[in-house]
């Protein structure tokens, strides 16, 4: 059974892109999904591949562990990244972008080009 977006009811996944007929002005929605200022830096690091918490913290020098944790949780709740826990001692946790997160790469690349041109 398909809904108005053309998705099957069984799929229901966060990773199934919509095929919108009408596109509203949704910059605010996008910013809500991405989150705060640290999200852009976390995304920048994850565009290079899977990273562990410590790797992200070392790469983003001025971020506190609490801010990094909150940012990672927000991005995971939004379906932007996946958190994989490995049952080792100590526990190993890796963060990887989902297809939804990878889809932000061109947007952020365009922002980078704009900044290089105008700032």
* pTM (global) more than 0.75: yes
pLDDT digits (tens, 9 = 90+) for 66-115: 999 999 999 999 999 999 999 999 999 999 999 999 999 999 999 899 99
When pLDDT is averaged across residues 48-63 and rounded to a whole number, the result is 97
Q: Determine which helix (DSSP H) or strand (DSSP E) holds 81, and give its type and residue range.
A: strand 81-86
- Residue 11: the pLDDT is 47
Q: What's the rounded Cα separation, in Å, for the pair 68 and 62? A: 10
Strand partners, 94: 52, 84
Q: Bigger pLDDT: 57 or 31?
A: 57
List helix spans (H) across the chain.
Answer: 27-34, 37-46, 53-59, 65-77, 99-102, 105-118
Nearest to 55 by CA among 31, 72, 73: 72
Long-range contacts at 67-71 (CB < 8 A, ≥ 24 apart): 67/38, 68/38, 68/42, 71/35, 71/36, 71/38, 71/39, 71/42
Find out whether the peptide bond into 32 is cis, omega within 30 degrees of 0: no
């Amino acid at each position: 059974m398909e809904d108005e977006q053309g998705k099957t009811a069984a799929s229901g996944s966060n990773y199934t892109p919509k095929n919108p007929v009408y596109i509203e002005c949704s910059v605010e929605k996008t910013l809500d999904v991405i989150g705060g200022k640290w999200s852009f830096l976390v995304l920048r690091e994850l565009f290079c591949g899977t990273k562990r918490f410590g790797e992200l913290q070392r790469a983003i020098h001025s971020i506190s562990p609490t801010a990094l944790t909150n940012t990672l949780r927000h991005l995971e709740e939004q379906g932007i990244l996946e958190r994989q826990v490995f049952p080792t001692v100590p526990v190993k946790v890796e963060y990887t972008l989902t297809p939804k997160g990878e889809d932000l790469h061109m947007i952020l690349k365009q922002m980078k080009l704009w900044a290089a041109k105008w700032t």
